[in-house]
Structure 1
Amino acid sequence: MDTMSAPSAMTSGTGGPHARQAVFTAMLEQHRGIVLKIAYSYCRDTDDQRDLVQDISMQLWRAYPAFDPERSRFSTWMYAIALNVAISQLRSSSRRRRQHLRVDDAAIAAVPDQAAASPEDTLALHTLHALIRRLDPLNRALMLLYLDDRSHRDIAEILGITPGNVATKIGRLKQRIREQIA
């Protein structure tokens, strides 16, 4: 139900701006976990996370008229835009501050989908998130998409690389993470 039936009203030009806004709002709500996950992964403090969520949402709204449900699923399109906004913000922020993001346990703890069953699982999840936060923006995006069970084809489309390159990079990143955990 990724494209819902509503985008046809948006692309056909029927329904007017209120219908388009209603469709966009419904799609954004359905996939809001994508935006939250990216914000939590790319920003360490809550205010920056909120700002990034707002920036991503605004950019999604601006780009929404160009969304073509025949070309890609909404979630794939959303991931691509959200990651581009997050990476751009990270680059401009690091230029201004000239410092790298540090791991912030409070921000990591706020990431959704952390229903760990035991303290060991929670620790392992925190360790994994800490390692992901240390990756460069492209590899961080790659791992977030991989951990979100996206297909290699979807990841390739979102990041603008080949599926073969996705498989190679994921293999290398998994090996690197295994070595750092060991």
Structure 2
Amino acid sequence: MNKELEHSFVELLEKHQNIVHKVCRLYTNNQDAHNDLFQEITIQLWKAYPKFRGDAKFSTWMYRVGLNTAITLYRKSKRTIKTQEFETVSFKIKSVEYDDTEEQQLKLLYEAVHQLNDIEKALVLLYLEDKNYKEISETLGISEVNARVKMNRVKKKLRTILNP
């Protein structure tokens, strides 16, 4: 591939890399897995980049490739033996004025999202990114009506998980 193509890809990836990090955060539970998934998504983006026609926004296309890669790897990992990772204990000293309410709520939300299936996770990610239903449907390859119906079901499911 030529240098111009490589340069434009790197520039766009750097500009939109937070998209990949968000996908990785939803589909992984530790930093090593996050890094591995980030690398795999980047490889898939690079392989597919010469075929990117610009019909959709680059960020929408990036979500689509990233989510498809994560979902594919997630499904493959379900066939392997699950292992529990030992987490090291770290001591944190909190200042008196620090209020971790928002951090705790975010943690609870991520724990609830981790209980969803792969498509539901993708819907939540795109919804939280303030994507409209047209963009969500384009990214996931489903109809706009289907995206709305699925999102309403996911909201109910999350309410049930968060408020048993």
In 1, the alpha carbon distance for the partners of 2:78 and 2:83 equals 7
Q: Which residue of the partner structure matches residue 10 of structure 1?
A: none
The match for 2:146 among 152, 165, 169 is 165
1:9 corresponding residue in structure 2: none
TM-score (norm 2): 0.86
Aligned-pair identity (%): 35
Which amino acid in structure 1 is aligned with residue 78 of structure 2?
S
- Residue deviations 1:37-65, cap 9 Å, x none? 11111011211111110000011000000
Equivalent of residue 56 in structure 1, options 30, 41, 50 = 41
TM-score of the superposed pair, with normalisation by structure 1: 0.78
**Cross-structure match for 1:178:** 159
Q: CA deviation at 1:101?
A: 9.2
Q: Which amino acid aligns with 1:17?
A: N
Which residue is 2:51 aligned to?
Answer: 66
Distance 1:161 1:95, change over 3 A: same
Aligned-residue Cα RMSD (Å) equals: 2.1
Superimposed CA distance per residue, residues 85-111 of structure 1 (whole angstroms, 9 cap, x where no aligned partner) = 1011111111122x4999x9x9xxxxx
Give the one of 36, 45, 55 matched to 2:21: 36
Runs of 5+ unmatched residues, structure 2: 90-97
**SS where residue 39 of structure 2 aligns?**
helix
Inter-partner Cα distance in structure 2 for 1:92 and 1:153: 29
With 162-171 and 59-68 compared, the bigger mean Cα shift is at 162-171
Write out the 4+ residue segments of structure 1 that deviate beyond 6 Å after TM superposition.
none
Q: Letter of the 1:76 partner, please give it.
A: T
Q: Which residue of 2 aligns with 1:144?
A: 125
Larger RCO, structure (CA 8 Å, separation 6 or more): 2
